[in-house]
Structure 1
């Protein structure tokens, strides 16, 4: 009987530990996504915006319902190798996988692409035709 109780307690501890790691796995995955997003934004912020025609809006991330989380200014001319675009696309794919894996939910609001990008004090800024205020860039 003692062995049975000892086995039952050990099994209970193992199950409890596995359940506590599930939350840590999701938290760790979310943290990795946030770090990748920041890495992308940091790379973009190092590129001066001198010619607005060299930039375009680029979808980033994936909502649980579908569609992008946001748009960021993408320095098309400065990314000759396409490495930055690859990072953006990989991030978007990873967020879609995260959403599916953890059953994420979102507001399901459609995020429209800004009309274009203009350079203001060396930084890219979105704009929308027909409005006076710039679109959100970060």
Structure 2
């Protein structure tokens, strides 16, 4: 009889530790925990948002500094059009991406080549904003 009661108690306790009732969506994903995956996702969002950067004239073109190099300055420059992009949303994504990179670089002691990437010149080609390399190198 002792063994029957002990077995029933164990079965009851095991049932109490059953599956969680929280939905799977509320658990963090691997990408949310991986800063490199987060940075890659934000970079893709930025590039997708900018798209082909169509504009009617050069005044609608802007240059964004994206990312952060370990020695300072942006990771890269990209041209975008004010006619096709919500600048406030774009700048928020760029700032979030930059901060993630800075935090990652500091946390992991990332070093770089410390070269300076020249700021490109904005031009238009085929109705699109383009970041053209400058002659300075």
> Which category of TM-score, normalised to the shorter sequence, fits these structures?
0.5 to 0.7
Give the deviation of 1:35 after TM superposition: 1.2
What's the TM-score once normalised by structure 2's chain length?
A: 0.64
1:34 aligns with 2:40: yes
Residue from 99, 108, 118 that aligns with 2:123: 118
Where 2:34 maps in the other structure, the secondary structure is helix
CA distance in 2: counterparts of 1:119 and 1:48, whole angstroms:
9
Are residues 31 and 84 of structure 1, via their aligned partners in 2, closer, same or farther at CA, if it must alter by over 3 Å? Answer: same
Structure number with greater Rg is: 2
Structure 2 unmatched runs, 5+: 1-29
| Number of residue pairs the alignment of both structures matches | 106
Per the alignment, residue 105 of structure 1 pairs with 111
With 69-78 and 100-109 compared, the bigger mean Cα shift is at: 69-78
What's the TM-score once normalised by structure 1's chain length?
A: 0.64
Per the alignment, residue 71 of structure 1 pairs with 77
Structure 1 unmatched runs, 5+: 1-23, 132-138
1:20-76 deviation line (CA, Å, top 9, x unaligned) = xxxx99x92112101110110011005423322111222110011111111111334
